[in-house]
Amino acid sequence: MLASKMLLSTLKDVPQEAKIPSHILLLRSGMIKQEVSGVFLYMPLGLRVLKKIENIIREEMDNSGSLEILCSAIQPKELWEESGRWQKYGPELMRFKDRHEREFCLGPTHEEVFTSVVRDLVKSSKSLPLNIYQIQTKYRDELRPRFGLMRSREFIMKDAYSFDKDEAGLDASYKVMYDTYSKIFTRFGLNFRAVLADTGAIGGNSSHQFMALSEVGESDIAYCTSCGYAADLEKAESKCDIYEIGEEKNIEEIYTPNMKTIEEVSSYLKISPKKLAKTIIYYENINKEYVAVVVRGDREINEIKVINALNSTENDLRLATDEEIYKLGSIHGFCGPLNLNIKILVDEEITLTKNIIVGSNKKDYHLANVMYGRDFKGEVSCFRKAEADDLCPICGKPLKLERGIEVGQIFKLQTKYSKAMNCTYTNEENKPVPMVMGCYGIGVSRTLASIIEQNHDDSGIIWPLNVAPYHAVIVPINYKDEEQKALANKIYEQLKANHVEVILDDRDAKAGFKFKDWELIGIPYMIICGRNSKDNIVEFKIRKDVLNKVELDASKAIDEIIKAVKEIK
Ligand code: ATP
Ligand code: MG
């Protein structure tokens, strides 16, 4: 490809809206352009990378035995009513009406559509197990679209759905997808970790997320270097930390004037926050009830676990207002679980600690020596967030925390959709049995951004060879110089003849400007034709190794590139 014909549009400056390397570099390299917030278009170079990423995913999905189809983004309301998600999905679902007032949505995911396809086509258990996938555009009206392709409102996903006769079948299908995802992310050269995950709005009872490790990731991961346990922080467990077990004492009211926070009370009383309990009151919108959650003073509440315990959704849980708390007979800053006439969720650590200090529901007072069981009761489970150095729930060694980008997630859906939507097969007794389902997503465009997060430097992107928009670029210092032009053209033809995707920079521009462009764009190999062109000598640069430039015979550079391209996996 000739650089003069490539619609190149690199930017020198960092666009104001871009905050993380992948967003900055995708915009600066001209690979994507923003249409409106959270909506992007792919320019030629970006599209080439996207297609290569899609093809690697496609190859591995095909190898796993999954069948590719392509669905529309448009989905009728009726399908979503069958699964019950038309009501439950909330404002992320982009809904619209046609001219006849019929309602639709733009698919954020395709469980309903795939379930309806299989229910219509498959009747016999002979067709099972079945795994079908697509690579297709999804729509989610994200509250805060941000970080470019990481969290957009329109994005490309690979979504697959498996259909099995029974649980054992699902386990096997799930394992195949787990292994396939591991192969896919390994082929992208990503440093990733598969972690246990919450199942969220999709449902089901078992799930893993594939996390590309990165500081810019929006997910926190707890992991154990000793036994390999790893979980999204929303899901992570840890062994209870027992702070005080001494003798039981009687309740005492203590004066804590204006002390509303854990820090204020603990420093005033000169005691560890671990002796205090935090009581936070929420309003839950599905059951329309107030709920108090009690965790130890040094802990954070894990709202996902609260949502799951209440069978609610993220959109249906919010903090109660000061006014609401007052109406419940308490007061903001002094809430406590005693004499509070609402549902109480208690973190298990609280039940194992003696003589805790809690709010008294009365201004300026706390209660000391409170005991779970003796003085109050509630629904006990793990409602705290795991923290670094908490003990691993499996082996008891200290946990570590790190950040990751969720590039994929797999779920065991069981019969959630097949039951609701009547997707059954006929068993030996001629009875209809709901199929047992799994679903498996990869954020294709998010993966593209994640590869950049893990492969860049101050000059720009460093594409791995197998997803680079082009493998090599030839830069004549001066294309008007006949010798340089002749050598550059010769190398260009030879590389093309050997299946190397190559660019010839025929632009009439300063050499430094051209180098900067290709370093920003991240082309893996660069051949520079300069003064020694008449002797067939070029400069050869490998993008990964940006400081190293060697002079060598053109044929050597050509051979090295051809060899590397042949070895692409
Ligand atoms: P998140 O928690 O990041 O919002 P999710 O868990 O809602 O994502 P899934 O429903 O599991 O997402 O979708 C499958 C994959 O699609 C995710 O693992 C992620 O890689 C990708 N994805 C989800 N939402 C977006 C988005 N707004 N922009 C880009 N990719 C996305
Ligand atoms: Mg997910």
Q: What pLDDT tens digit does each residue of the chain (569 aa) get?
A: 999 999 999 999 988 999 999 999 999 999 999 999 999 999 999 999 999 999 999 999 999 999 999 999 999 999 999 999 998 888 999 999 999 999 999 999 999 999 999 999 998 999 999 999 999 999 999 999 999 999 999 999 999 999 999 999 999 999 999 999 999 999 999 999 999 998 766 655 689 999 999 999 999 999 999 999 999 999 999 999 988 777 889 999 999 999 999 999 999 999 999 999 999 999 999 999 999 999 999 999 999 999 999 999 888 999 999 999 999 999 999 999 999 999 999 999 999 989 999 999 999 999 999 999 999 999 999 999 999 999 999 999 999 999 999 999 999 999 999 999 999 999 989 999 999 999 999 999 999 999 999 999 999 999 999 999 999 999 999 999 999 999 999 999 999 999 999 999 999 999 999 999 999 999 999 999 999 999 999 999 999 987 688 999 999 999 999 999 999 98
From CA 286, how far away is CA 300, in angstroms rounded? Answer: 24
From CA 447, how far away is CA 212, in angstroms rounded? Answer: 8
Which among 304, 310, 271, 319 has a CA at the least distance from the CA of 287?
310
252-381 architecture in CATH? Alpha-Beta Complex (3.90)
| Locus of tokens 């300026």 | 364
The best mutation among 202, 409, 410, 442 to test binding of ligand 1, ranked by most ligand atoms within 8 Å of the C-beta, falls on 409
Which residue has the CA at smallest separation from atom 6 of ligand 1?
A: 409
The best mutation among 23, 157, 159, 202 to test binding of ligand 1, ranked by most ligand atoms within 8 Å of the C-beta, falls on 157
Which among 81, 124, 44, 23 has a CA at the least distance from the CA of 432?
124
User: What pLDDT score was predicted for residue 364?
Assistant: 96
Q: Ligand 1: which atom is nearest the Cα of residue 411?
A: 11
Between the CA of 39 and the centroid of ligand 1 the distance, in Å, is 15
Q: Under DSSP, is residue 225 helix (H, G, I), strand (E, B) or coil?
A: coil
**CATH 3.30.930.10 domain locations along the chain:** 18-237+401-452
Q: Tell how many helices (H) and how many strands (E) occur in the chain.
A: 15, 31
Between the CA of 364 and the centroid of ligand 1 the distance, in Å, is 45
Contact 290, 283 (CB under 8 A): yes
Between the CA of 99 and the centroid of ligand 1 the distance, in Å, is 31
Selected from 3.40.50.800, 3.50.50.60, 1.10.1740.10, 1.20.272.10, the CATH number assigned to the domain covering 461-566 reads: 3.40.50.800
From CA 29, how far away is CA 74, in angstroms rounded? Answer: 32
- Phi, psi torsion values for 349, nearest 5 degrees: -60, -35
Contact 109, 92 (CB under 8 A): no
Between the CA of 191 and the centroid of ligand 1 the distance, in Å, is 19
Pairing of strands 356-359, 365-370: antiparallel
Which among 280, 286, 281 has a CA at the least distance from the CA of 316?
286
Q: Ligand 1: which atom is nearest the Cα of residue 159?
A: 14
Please list every protein residue whose CB sits less than 6 Å from any atom of ligand 1: 109, 140, 142, 151-152, 155, 157, 200, 406-409, 441, 443, 445-446
Contact 122, 163 (CB under 8 A): yes
DSSP code for 198: -
Pairing of strands 343-347, 379-381: parallel
Strand order across the beta sheet in which 317-319 lies: 317-319, 277-284, 289-296, 343-347, 379-381
Helix pair angle (554-566, 482-497), 10° resolution:
30
User: What pLDDT score was predicted for residue 387?
Assistant: 95
Pairing of strands 456-457, 472-476: unpaired
Q: Ligand 1: which atom is nearest the Cα of residue 142?
A: 27
Which residue has the CA at smallest separation from atom 23 of ligand 1?
A: 443
Which among 283, 332, 336 has a CA at the least distance from the CA of 312?
283
Please work out, in degrees rounded to the nearest 5, the angle formed at the alpha carbon of residue 90 by the alpha carbons of 88 and 95: 110
Between the CA of 443 and the centroid of ligand 1 the distance, in Å, is 6
Between the CA of 428 and the centroid of ligand 1 the distance, in Å, is 39
Sign of CA dihedral 557, 559, 562, 565: negative
**CATH 3.40.50.800 domain locations along the chain:** 461-566
Q: Ligand 1: which atom is nearest the Cα of residue 202?
A: 10
From CA 298, how far away is CA 261, in angstroms rounded? Answer: 11
From CA 518, how far away is CA 521, in angstroms rounded? Answer: 5
Between the CA of 167 and the centroid of ligand 1 the distance, in Å, is 26
The best mutation among 134, 150, 446, 453 to test binding of ligand 1, ranked by most ligand atoms within 8 Å of the C-beta, falls on 446
Between the CA of 144 and the centroid of ligand 1 the distance, in Å, is 13
**CATH 3.90.960.10 domain locations along the chain:** 252-381
From CA 244, how far away is CA 198, in angstroms rounded? Answer: 31
Which among 422, 443, 449 has a CA at the least distance from the CA of 433?
422
Which residue has the CA at smallest separation from atom 13 of ligand 1?
A: 441
Between the CA of 410 and the centroid of ligand 1 the distance, in Å, is 11
Which among 189, 245, 112 has a CA at the least distance from the CA of 453?
189
Which residue has the CA at smallest separation from atom 27 of ligand 1?
A: 151
Q: Ligand 1: which atom is nearest the Cα of residue 109?
A: 10
- Phi, psi torsion values for 406, nearest 5 degrees: -75, 105
Ligand at minimal distance from the CA of 406 is: 1
Q: Under DSSP, is residue 544 helix (H, G, I), strand (E, B) or coil?
A: helix
CA 325 to chain CA mean position, Å: 35
Ligand at minimal distance from the CA of 404 is: 1
CATH entry 3.30.1390.20 includes domain 18-237+401-452: no
